[in-house]
Amino acid sequence: MALLSIVKYGDPILRKKVKPVTDFTNLEKLVNDMLETMSHEDGIGLAANQVGKDMNLMVLDVSHLEDETDTEPRIFVNIKIVETDGEIMMEEGCLSIPDIRAEITRPEKITISYQDLNREMHTKQFTGLSSRVLQHEFDHLEGKFFTDYLAMAKKLIIQKRLKEISETGFPSVSVTL
Ligand SMILES: [Zn+2]
């Protein structure tokens, strides 16, 4: 396995909608590298374009967190959102936008369809933190950031920090909105 470098805010690959995965041959190695990188960075979700790959692929692992019932790392290929339900506010952060956190309102439950590494199709509903991470990572695959949801006044507060991240990889101060 190998650690991959995390693509930061400002890189054009994070503003593009990714391509569907059609070739599954070397996916397992990439997925293992993504899982190792995510764990190394203390992340709980990682989209393929966050490591520079233009692919509809993401990993999720909340198993090490207290109170989480999802007990193993999960891998999703060619994800589509089937249904959402409810609304809840939660704080989010992002490996591509380090040291910036903000409360964001999103649907509480999400039903997605996806393929596993053997190309098999699944449809599954998620709630709680897993639902939240999935929606955050799905946005990455669509070229969106959690900060896009902020009201203009809050966007202005972090504007300078986002510019710093795009230039140096990190903001000069951390911000929680
Ligand atoms: Zn993110």
Edge-first strand order for the sheet with 121-126 is 45-47, 57-60, 74-85, 109-115, 121-126
Q: Quick one: average pLDDT of 125-133?
A: 95
* pLDDT tens readout for residues 78-122: 999 999 999 999 999 999 999 999 999 999 999 999 999 999 999
pLDDT level of residue 70 (50, 70, 90 thresholds) = confident
User: How many A from CA of 4 to the centre of ligand 1?
Assistant: 15
The residues that are catalytic are: 137
> Percentage of the chain surpassing pLDDT 90?
92
d(CA 49, CA 18): 7
d(CA 142, CA 60): 17
User: How many A from CA of 117 to the centre of ligand 1?
Assistant: 22
User: How many A from CA of 47 to the centre of ligand 1?
Assistant: 8
User: How many A from CA of 152 to the centre of ligand 1?
Assistant: 20
* pLDDT tens readout for residues 26-41: 999 999 999 999 999 9
Rg (CA), the chain: 16
- Does the pLDDT of residue 153 top 80, yes or no? yes
pLDDT level of residue 65 (50, 70, 90 thresholds) = confident
Instruction: Classify domain 12-176 at the CATH class level.
Output: alpha beta
pLDDT level of residue 55 (50, 70, 90 thresholds) = very high
